[in-house]
Amino acid sequence: MSPLRPENIKQTPPKTSTREAGRWICFQLWFNTYRKFFTFVVSINIIGMVLSITGKWPYPRRYAGACVLGNLLTAVLMRNELFGRLLYLIVNTLFARWTPLGFRLACTSILQHIGGIHSGCAISGFLWLIFRIVAIFSNHKDNHNSVLIAGVITSIVVGISIVSAFPWVRNTHHNVFERHHRFMGWVGLLSTWIFIVLGDSYDLTTHSWNPDGLRILRQQDFWFIFWMTVFVLLPWFTIREVQVDVEIPSPKVVVLRFQRGMQQGLLARISRGSILEYHAFGIISEGPHAKEHYLLCGVQGDFTRALVNNPPRQLWTRQLKFAGVSHTSALYKRGIRVCTGTGLGAALSTCLQARILSSSPNWYLIWIGSDQEKTFGPTISGLIHRNLGPDRITLWDSKKEGGRPDVMKLIKETYISWGAEVVFITSNFQGNKEMMEGCKVAGIPAFGTLWDF
């Protein structure tokens, strides 16, 4: 293909309005796979609860703990790094490039939005917990006070953990989310253990304690909470304090350099401490066998500003990285990676490792930023110019060009000339919204950044 150059692209496009996109298209983008998963999971659980209350399904009345912990275990599993990587591995290994495009797009959508199952099961588990507490209090004369108290404490703690993970809290008050969701989650796990052990040890018939360990082991809820604990703790066994080199090419950007290469499409969680405030960033690497990988951090919040004001020599990170939507790039024969600003951190590896994904480079990069060479520095520029030829990249410097490009014109023309099957977008909220609406109108399969998980 002949590369698209900035001089051939119209500047300052009209924004894709809701009227242009249409209400139905806007609704489709809003009611995405994440919300479909969430709605389905919560609806199924509410139906089960109604059937139990009306006496048509007696199982939850006897085994409400299993309904609580079955949901919470599934919620934990959906956010477990190892389980997530396993899902991506299975899909990328079995279905890459040969299956129908619609099937591959569905696989990507499911993997990207699997958080809807996480959220749906978490909410449902909490509702079943309330159901069980109400059932216990309705028969409070038969239960010991310690069981009642443990149940109430568990409900409060789990409720706080869930509320702290609401999208508005998570996206606007990240530190609040980190502290409350994680620590209240741990406290909730401990109080759930206490609640389960006390509840299973108290004999409602004789009104006496039966501390027989075998009796507890025979209960479903014991094994649910056991495996829930395993999957909660497992990622924490992989945390390490590692050496880091800090490059500050400009006041807006920090580039962190770590040892060893990485697969494309992975994200790293880093922290100055072993427990508090882990922050996720896309990993830039030339390949699994490279000597180093990089994190590109925009200087915005307290954590990234501290990287500039007090550059660290070591940072804590989980050796087990979690996969982002770009990890499904291997599924496609040809694709386009669109990013703005520091969104390059989540996008660049896919294009750098395009030859690993296929016998020939199959991913095209569109990067829109301001004063890119100066802002992002020689390390990032060097990675791009060493690995990507002019036929595989469009760099738009909004400062040099005097404004933003007509992004949708650029995407459409590149999509056709490159013969792409899919577009992955990493941008800010407004940019992501405009591009996703534009792609939907144009009938271009696209996946953008999520803010609802």
pLDDT of residue 274: 82
DSSP code for 276: S
**CATH class, range 239-323:** mainly beta
CA distances from 16 to 328, 365, 448, 449 (A): 28, 22, 16, 17
Average pLDDT estimate for 13-24:
59
Average pLDDT estimate for 1-6:
47
pLDDT exceeds 70 at position 11? no
Instruction: Give the Cα-Cα-Cα angle 265, 297, 352 (nearest 5 degrees).
Output: 35
Return the closest-CA partner of residue 451 out of 385, 314, 244, 431: 431
Confidence of residue 199 (pLDDT cuts 50, 70, 90): confident
Confidence of residue 257 (pLDDT cuts 50, 70, 90): very high
Confidence of residue 301 (pLDDT cuts 50, 70, 90): confident
Summarised one tens digit per residue, pLDDT across range 348-372 is 999 999 877 776 779 999 999 988 8
Query: What is the residue extent of each domain of the chain?
Result: 6-23+325-447, 32-237, 239-323
Block residue for tokens 């950007």: 253
pLDDT of residue 403: 83
pLDDT of residue 206: 66
Q: Of 11-20, 110-119, 248-257, 261-270, where does mean pLDDT reach its minimum? A: 11-20
pTM, two decimals, is 0.88
pLDDT exceeds 90 at position 150? no
Element (H, E) at 153: helix 145-163
pLDDT of residue 3: 46
pLDDT of residue 20: 59
Q: Of 98-102, 161-165, 234-238, 438-442, where does mean pLDDT reach its minimum? A: 161-165
Distance (Å, rounded) from C-alpha 410 to C-alpha 296? 25
- Sequence-distant (6+) residues with CB within 8 A of 361 are 351, 354, 355, 392
Domain 6-23+325-447 annotated CATH 3.40.50.80: yes
Average pLDDT estimate for 216-243:
90
Summarised one tens digit per residue, pLDDT across range 26-82 is 899 999 999 999 999 999 999 999 999 998 999 988 888 899 999 999 999 999 999
Confidence of residue 18 (pLDDT cuts 50, 70, 90): very low
pLDDT of residue 175: 66
Confidence of residue 2 (pLDDT cuts 50, 70, 90): very low
The chain-wide mean pLDDT, for the chain, equals 87
pLDDT exceeds 90 at position 218? no
pLDDT exceeds 70 at position 16? no
Q: What percent of the chain is predicted at pLDDT more than 90? A: 57
